[in-house]
Amino acid sequence: MHKLRLFALIAALCAGLVSAADSVIAPEAAAQVRYAQVIAGSANVYEALNPTSPVIGMAMRGTSFELVSAGDIWCKVKYRGREGWVEHDLVEIVDKPNKSFMVKDFLIVFSILGGLLAMLSMVILISRLRNRVKGEWFEVEARPEKKVLIVSTAETRVKRFLDERESPLPACFSDLGCVSKTASGAQDFQRQMITQQPDILAVDWLIASNVQAVTEQILGARSASVSVFTIFYNVPDPSNIEKSRVIPNTAYLPIGFTEQDLIRVISMDTTGISRGGTDEIRKSVESSALQGDIGEGSLSAIFQFIEMGRKTGCLMIEDEKPAGIVYFNEGVIIHAVSRRGSGRKAVMDLLGTNNGIFRFVLDKRPRSETMQLPALAVLLDWARENDEATGSGLRQA
């Protein structure tokens, strides 16, 4: 009996010791590894518990470290085989790293890239549709450049429209949409008539006393000479010149002719020209310039025509003398000058012109653009000011 009691006591004692040992060892054995996962965009890993200590690494959002210990401000973590410190505000303590951070970041980046791609596609689509609409509705059919052959041995300078500045004759032709070559003698003249086949021939009257006869001889030898429009310039007295019977399409410009004279000749009415070259010359004239008489309110219609057609060029306005000039780029006013001023004021002033003539030369540009003014907006302002002025006059009456 005593042996049984002793055995039971020993067994109970052993069980107690085992239980006590388990109570000491179990917490360490059951200790769970926790992690510090970066929740900010990035986090620096410091060597010591000090923000001024050396940085031993940098972790991006979603990166996790094995946690050593955590405080209110700092967390001690394991980083690449050594221990370091990260700010507690930049990490989240978790039992298991959360991979959803990487998935979310990927989805955000993918969404941004997808949005940018969609915007780019939309811009390309709108651009293509705009170009298509422009091509179908507004764009003037591309016209070939007219070829001009200038026969001269000396430079002729021409006064520009609305001011006293002078430019070489080839530059004036260039402004009118022409490409020019120069022949300096009879042989060169004859050779280039064959090689260049010009649409317009500009001959300096002062090059020789028999210049018209020589021109007739050279042109008369060509079956296509009837289609060439010939301009004799620097003619002392055009009114006393006997016009050529061999060259049907001919015009004469006096010494000191201006840019307006040149435009007027190129845009001249070809009714009296023989039928052989009338259609071709008229096409050339229509592609270079539009002109007509100004009636009351007609300039506003011309502005609308230019704006709706998205035309580029300059509109020159004259009454008894040059009144002003307005430059357009695809229907938008980019420069304007009148006798009374420049800019928007000049445009409003010119819109009130009720008599005279206008000429619109395609593709002629100013030396500099001084504004970007939609023609339609100017017309609305002009109409409103006119209505207000009319209403004020009626009230005063």
For 257-303, write each residue's pLDDT tens digit: 987 778 777 755 333 333 333 344 334 334 445 677 787 667 887 88
- CA 371 – CA 347 distance, rounded (Å): 12
pLDDT for 80 equals 87
Give me the long-range contacts of 319-325 (CB less than 8 A, separation at least 24). Answer: 319/353, 319/355, 319/356, 320/356, 322/161, 322/162, 322/260, 323/350, 323/353, 323/356, 324/162, 324/349, 324/350, 325/161, 325/162
Tokens of 240: 């006393």
Read off the pLDDT band of 382 (50, 70, 90): confident
Q: What is the mean pLDDT of residues 90-113?
A: 72
Read off the pLDDT band of 329 (50, 70, 90): very high
Q: What is the mean pLDDT of residues 301-309?
A: 80
pLDDT for 5 equals 56
Cβ burial, residue 130 (10 Å; 0-12/13-18/19+):
exposed
Where is mean pLDDT largest: 11-25, 26-40, 79-93, 97-111?
Answer: 79-93
323-339 burial, b if ≥16 CB within 10 A, otherwise e? bbbbbbbebbbbbbbbe
Give percent of the chain with pLDDT exceeding 70. 72
Q: Which of 8-12, 109-113, 146-150 has the lowest mean pLDDT?
A: 8-12
Residue type, 38: V
The DSSP symbol for 206 reads G
Of the two residues 288 and 210, the one the predictor is more confident about is 210
pLDDT for 390 equals 64
- CA 37 – CA 12 distance, rounded (Å): 48
pLDDT for 127 equals 63
Q: pLDDT tens-digit profile of 225-248?
A: 557 888 999 999 988 888 887 887
The answer on pLDDT for 164 being more than 70 is no
Q: pLDDT tens-digit profile of 58-89?
A: 888 888 889 999 888 889 999 988 999 988 88
Q: Which of 92-106, 122-136, 139-153 has the lowest mean pLDDT?
A: 122-136
Under 8 Å between Cβ of 281 and 349: no
In the β-sheet with 146-151, what is the strand arrangement from edge to edge? 178-183, 146-151, 200-204, 229-235, 250-254
Instruction: Using alpha carbons, select from 44, 39, 78 the residue that is nearest to residue 62.
Output: 39
Average pLDDT, whole number, for the chain? Answer: 76
Instruction: Using alpha carbons, select from 67, 73, 81 the residue that is nearest to residue 37.
Output: 67
Q: What is the mean pLDDT of residues 214-229?
A: 73
> Any idea where the domains of the chain sit in the sequence?
1-28, 35-98, 147-287, 294-397
Residue type, 309: G
Read off the pLDDT band of 129 (50, 70, 90): low
pLDDT for 152 equals 92
Give percent of the chain with pLDDT exceeding 90. 14
35-98: CATH architecture? Roll (2.30)
* Phi (first) and psi of residue 43, to 5 degrees: -145, 135
pLDDT for 284 equals 39
147-287: CATH architecture? 3-Layer(aba) Sandwich (3.40)
Q: Which of 78-92, 192-206, 381-395 has the lowest mean pLDDT?
A: 381-395
Under 8 Å between Cβ of 248 and 273: yes
Under 8 Å between Cβ of 206 and 233: no
Query: Other CB atoms closer than 10 Å to residue 351's CB: what's the count?
Result: 21
